[in-house]
Amino acid sequence: MMIISFLVCLSFFLGIGLLSARKKQNTAADYLLASRSLSPWLCGLSAVATTNSGFMFTAWIGMTYTLGFSSIWFLLGLGLGSVFVLYTTSKQIRRVSEKVDTYSYGGLISHWQGSEMPILRHVLGWAILIFLSTYAAAQLTASSKAMHVLFGWDLSTGIYLGSIVIVMYCFAGGFRASVWTDVAQSIVMIFAMFLLAWVALDEIGGFASLYDTLEAIDPNLVGILPSLQLAPIIYIVGWFLGGIGITGQPHIMVRFMAVNSEENAGRSLYWYFGWYFAFFFVSWVVGLCARALLPEVANFDSELALPTIAQEQLPQILVGLILAGLFAAAISTADSLVLSASAALSRDIFKKPSASMFITKGSTILISALVLVISLSGNKSVLMLVALAWSILATAITPLLYLFITKQPVPEWLALTMITVGCSVAIGWYFSGLDSLIWPSFPGFIAVAIVYGIYRLTSPKQSSGTPH
């Protein structure tokens, strides 16, 4: 019954994505941005589903399973950081992207000040290609882990299946297929997660019993502040800066490039944050319940907590629904990542703003193959893959976007220096193992700020750096 439910629900999600082909136009603008036609609710729900996707269902619940109550600061830090930065950037991103007539996020950043910064565009194109491919590999890993738990399939089976579906999505409806599927799975999954939280809490005996059970397992699980070497405030600020880093994620921000008007870019945020906080909170509860009901942590992969608790607490038909939703969420996000990386390859790296659909779709096939290789051979932790990709792109793009929006002068050589220094620090922080203390983009942002501060102190006073 579980497999039948999974296949039926997955067919429903796939069908929605494939139906988008009925509205497609054979143009790059439609393939990469749905002809800038998204309504506010489509933009908002798609953006938030793409933001979380496989990470929400595996790494976030796994983090809560491991840390307990204190993982709430991850939710609040990322959420409040996202609120701050999206309310200050979303409308301008929509306006400037149409003004400079670009379909790639790297193209938007490199044209923001009016004239193109060609070297910056090339560098951003490579960064986006490499790290979005890594990010997409994490989505395949997330979907394959769930199928491994529930069906006993080898991890590679889910990865191959996901890769096939990604190519189907891209060639059927492109960006629009991803958006439509995002919205469908977000609606289904918030219902399924609330149901799972309710059933699990009922099994435990309510919130009071949940607290007592977690305290009996490990008193640290009910501590509201993290037990870390760094001061809790630094830890929390680190997650806040991680939330600000959302503007460095092309696959998310292109949603705001694709919304149908500048004003609706702002309205879409009500949909985004309403769903974001509701779903993150109920997922937090599910993670806590998973620790109470699955207390043995030895040799248990915490990123498998969701499918494991679903299998134990729900009827098989609903387990199939959750698995199909998780798979669709991960794959539709991976599709968005592949499309953004394809835009970077065909329009930023090869510098072909008017590249034909043949070249654009050929780039999609190449990126999909790269993602498959990374997922089969790379690190199997979703959290680690996402943390690395998110941090590097946040460090490379977010400070530049902030300076452009506040009309600060940024010559191309300075932009490249900021990216080089900031990303080097973030990468060094990550591979030194210090990412367990604080999000790598935190030291990366500090390094970028130091570079820009030195520039302003040593250069003559300049006028506004952007006409936008």
In a domain, 245, yes or no: yes
CA distance 36 to 278: 28
User: CB count, 10 Å around CB of 229?
Assistant: 10
pLDDT of 204 > 60? The answer is yes
In this prediction, residue 380 carries a pLDDT of: 54
Average pLDDT of every residue of the chain: 84
In a domain, 457, yes or no: no
In a domain, 89, yes or no: yes
CA 351 to chain centre: 26
Query: Across residues 199-203, what is the average pLDDT?
Result: 91
In this prediction, residue 267 carries a pLDDT of: 94
Least confident residue range of 34-38, 166-170, 274-278, 396-400:
166-170
Query: Across residues 254-265, what is the average pLDDT?
Result: 94
pLDDT of 232 > 70? The answer is no
Nearest-Å Rg of the Cα atoms of the chain is: 21
Please, which residues bridge with residue 38 across strands?
259
In this prediction, residue 129 carries a pLDDT of: 92
In a domain, 293, yes or no: yes
Nearest to 188 by CA among 6, 1, 383, 386: 6
Query: Across residues 413-420, what is the average pLDDT?
Result: 96
Least confident residue range of 88-102, 176-190, 253-267, 386-400:
176-190
pLDDT tens-digit map of 363-382: 889 999 998 988 887 655 55
What domain range includes position 21? 2-382
Evaluate whether 79 touches 72 at the Cβ level (below 8 Å).
Answer: no
CA distance 468 to 262: 14
213-227, 231-245, 267-281: which is most confident: 267-281
pLDDT tens-digit map of 126-171: 999 988 888 888 888 877 877 777 677 888 888 888 888 888 877 7
In this prediction, residue 323 carries a pLDDT of: 79
What does the angle CA 251 – CA 368 – CA 19 come to, to the nearest 5 degrees?
70
In this prediction, residue 333 carries a pLDDT of: 80
pLDDT tens-digit map of 322-353: 777 777 777 778 888 888 998 888 888 876 55
pLDDT of 467 > 70? The answer is no
Binned at pLDDT 50, 70 and 90, residue 230 comes out as: low
pTM higher than 0.75 for the full model?
Answer: yes
C-alpha distances in angstroms, 191 versus 50, 53, 149, 185, 228? 18, 15, 22, 10, 35
In this prediction, residue 228 carries a pLDDT of: 55
The number of folded domains in the chain is 1
In a domain, 321, yes or no: yes
Q: Hunting for tokens 């960064």 — which residue is that?
A: 127
pLDDT tens-digit map of 94-107: 999 999 888 889 99
In a domain, 289, yes or no: yes
Torsional sign, CA 262, 416, 365, 56: negative
In a domain, 429, yes or no: no
In this prediction, residue 216 carries a pLDDT of: 92
In a domain, 452, yes or no: no
* CATH classification of the domain holding 127: 1.20.1730.10
